[in-house]
């Protein structure tokens, strides 16, 4: 599929304020996705402005500089898988000379894109895509394109930690009955607001309340001797929090998922203020309020 096709749909989605029309436009596009590994995931990432590669190492200043120096192509010719492949290359560049190599790779792609395509890609890379189509809307569009229950698709996306992966399953006609799997990051379940404490208790039933220690929200997975620590955005930070990993390995169980706060502590073992916990000098440790699934 041409990248220009996706860009045109993105423009049409941005031009309407009607949610039903946005969902319909995206669903029509997704129904045309050709089979192939990673195709749906790549398109979903470009639609919501979050490439499946995550951060690709190109800052806004670098992006603007290369973009300004690269004339646009006159006609569309670039396929979506080529854009996805270039983003993967950018994310994988490291070491000496990486900055200039990223600029070179980005310039090669931008030179083949039309003005509209350049603008869309720049907004995706820069995290500035504004088209009024969030994850929930794209999830509904995926469900419509695949002919599945939107609730089942959203649940699968949460447990897989990846809307694109859940959408790919749905469009291939595969089961969405997935479960919690240690090692696979889960999208966070967010709290729902209530008008009062009484209203909240009436909705959830019996509940216990404890002080919340404010630190870094982490999700920890253990599968035998393998431990992975994810941030709220599902970035793997295992190598940066050895104290958390050690604490998890000390638990007398082999397969589990934990969700809670990691805190910085002072010399007496008291929790630091949030801003101090988040400083680069702080050593994060699991708090006692972490709960187990």
Q: What is the pLDDT of residues 219-248, one digit of tens each?
A: 999 999 999 999 988 889 999 888 889 999
pTM, two decimal places: 0.75
Annotated active-site residue 212? The verdict is yes
d(Cα 56, Cα 34) in Å, to the nearest integer? 25
d(Cα 155, Cα 159) in Å, to the nearest integer? 6
Q: E-assigned strands of the chain?
A: 216-223, 226-231, 255-264, 284-286, 291-292
The 3-state DSSP class for residue 194 equals coil
- Write out the DSSP string of 137-206: HHHHHHHHHHT--HHHHHHHHHHHT-HHHHHHHHHTT--------TTS--PPPPPPP-SSHHHHHHHH-S
CA distances from 193 to 144, 187, 217, 221 (A): 29, 19, 19, 28
Beta-bridge mates of residue 256: 222
User: Catalytic residue among 18, 22, 212, 273, which?
Assistant: 212
Residues of the chain with pLDDT under 50: 289-293
Contacts of 230 (CB under 8 A, 6+ apart): 185, 218, 219, 220, 221, 236, 237
Complete domains list, the chain, with CATH = 3-171 (1.10.3260.10), 182-293 (3.30.470.30)
Helices (H) and strands (E) counted in the chain, each on its own, are 13, 5
């Amino acid at each position: 599929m041409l990248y220009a096709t996706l860009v045109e749909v993105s423009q049409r989605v941005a031009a309407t304020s009607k949610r039903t029309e946005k969902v319909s436009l995206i669903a029509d596009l997704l129904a045309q996705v050709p089979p192939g590994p990673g195709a749906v995931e790549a398109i979903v990432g470009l639609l919501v402005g979050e490439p499946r590669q995550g951060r690709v190492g190109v800052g806004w200043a670098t992006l603007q500089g290369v973009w300004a120096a690269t004339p646009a192509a006159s006609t569309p010719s670039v396929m979506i898988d080529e854009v996805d492949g270039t983003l993967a290359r950018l994310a994988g560049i490291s070491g000496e000379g990486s900055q200039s190599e990223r600029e070179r790779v980005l310039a090669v792609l931008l030179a083949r894109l039309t003005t509209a395509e350049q603008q869309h890609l720049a907004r995706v890379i820069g995290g500035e895509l504004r088209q009024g189509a969030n994850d929930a809307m794209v999830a509904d569009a995926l469900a419509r394109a695949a002919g599945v229950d939107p609730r089942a698709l959203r649940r699968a996306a949460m447990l897989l930690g990846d809307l694109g992966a859940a959408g790919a399953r749905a469009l291939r006609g595969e089961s969405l009955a997935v479960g919690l799997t240690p090692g696979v990051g889960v999208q966070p379940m967010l709290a729902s607001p209530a008008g009062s404490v009484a209203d909240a208790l009436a909705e959830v039933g019996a509940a216990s309340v404890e002080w919340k220690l404010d630190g870094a929200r982490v999700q920890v997975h253990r599968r035998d001797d393998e431990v992975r620590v994810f941030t709220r955005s599902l970035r793997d930070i295992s190598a940066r929090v050895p104290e958390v990993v050690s604490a998890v390995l000390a638990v007398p169980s082999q397969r589990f998922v934990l969700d809670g706060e990691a805190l910085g502590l002072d010399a007496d073992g008291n929790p630091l203020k949030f801003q101090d916990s988040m400083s680069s000098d702080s050593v994060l440790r699991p708090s006692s309020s972490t709960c187990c699934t």
